[in-house]
Amino acid sequence: MGGNALEKENMGRVAEALCRLYSERHEIVVTHGNGPQVGELYLKEGKNLSILTEETQRIIGNSIKNFIHEECPSCRASVIMTRVLVYTNDREFSEPSKPIGRFYDKEKLVPRGRMEFSVKKMERGYRLVVPSPEPRKIFEVDKIIKAIRNGRIAIAAGGGGAAVAIQGRKTVRMNAVVDKDLASALLAEKIAADAFFILTDIDRAFIDFGSVNAKPIYRMNVKTALRYIDKGYFENGSMLPKVRACVEFARKRRMNAAIGNINDIENVLRFRSCTIVTP
């Protein structure tokens, strides 16, 4: 679930849908974004983004868990704090692309925090942009598998997971935010998921979203999606990582993935009213 889609009014229907899946004995892993939340925390506290990601994992994860338990007291859910390996030589550290925090109307109104991250004009306004290195490994995969095999809904890889790197024999925190869509696709592959759903605040992916020539995409295979990516149809830091994540999952698991509106979660979970990415 995208960080921008995690509004309180959405969470009741999300919890209801998750509880229905749980009652049907599906094994469920829920991941979530944290872009708006981690951005606000950074501007207030100026801490390392890896530390702030852990804070938002705890806050947002427990909020999702509470909504699930309120909807279905018999549902068992666990928040699993998750770390993700990144490489220190990732190009993102020199060319950041991940938007965080709220949208602003004017570039000059964007607070820069203490570390002078860059500002980028997005389709809906200006946002802070920070490094978002490629996720290479999820350290807590075994814990997540154990949780779902024990009949729990696992809430994991929140905010893409806390970014860490290996330096010598030490694990060090990186001042970066891992993209939650790409981390989720990696996690879905490693736990051998049968389906992968990205819930956001728009109905589906579009070609040239936000332009007068925007066209909805109802279904595309991996080959078509890669061609659209090469043509630059998707905005970096927005729809692009979502499509990339679906491509990775569909290609590696040979299963379908979907991008759809969190407000229509019941249909999306049935591969309706969304963009479907097929192998």
Give mean pLDDT in consecutive 10-residue pieces for the chain, a chain of 279 residues: 76 92 96 89 90 96 95 95 98 90 72 67 82 97 98 97 96 96 98 97 92 93 98 89 97 98 95 97
Same domain? For 145 and 204 the reply is: no
**267: CATH:** 3.40.1160.10
Give the pLDDT confidence score for residue 101 in this predicted structure: 80
Q: Nearest-5° angle of CA 259, CA 263, CA 268?
A: 40
Residue where one domain finishes, among candidates 135, 167, 193: 193
**Which domain range does residue 53 map to?**
1-193
How would you label 74-91 residue by residue, b for 16+ Cβ within 10 Å and e otherwise? ebebbbbbbbbbbeeebe
Q: Which of 193, 217, 251 is the last residue of a domain?
A: 193
Distance linking the first and last C-alpha atoms of the chain = 22
Q: Is 110 helix (H, G, I), strand (E, B) or coil?
A: coil
pLDDT digits (tens, 9 = 90+) for 24-79: 999 999 999 998 889 889 888 889 999 999 999 999 999 999 999 999 999 999 99
- Asked if residue 57 and residue 128 are part of one domain, the reply reads yes
Query: What is the tally of structural domains in the chain?
Result: 2
Q: Are 177 and 231 found together in one domain?
A: no
Query: Is 171 found in the same domain as 42?
Result: yes
Domain boundary among 175, 193, 211: 193
If asked whether residues 6 and 90 sit together in one domain, one would say yes
Q: Are residues 165 and 244 in the same domain?
A: no
Is 148:28 a contact under the CB 8 Å cutoff? yes
Q: What is the pLDDT of residue 83?
A: 98
User: 156 and 221 in one domain?
Assistant: no
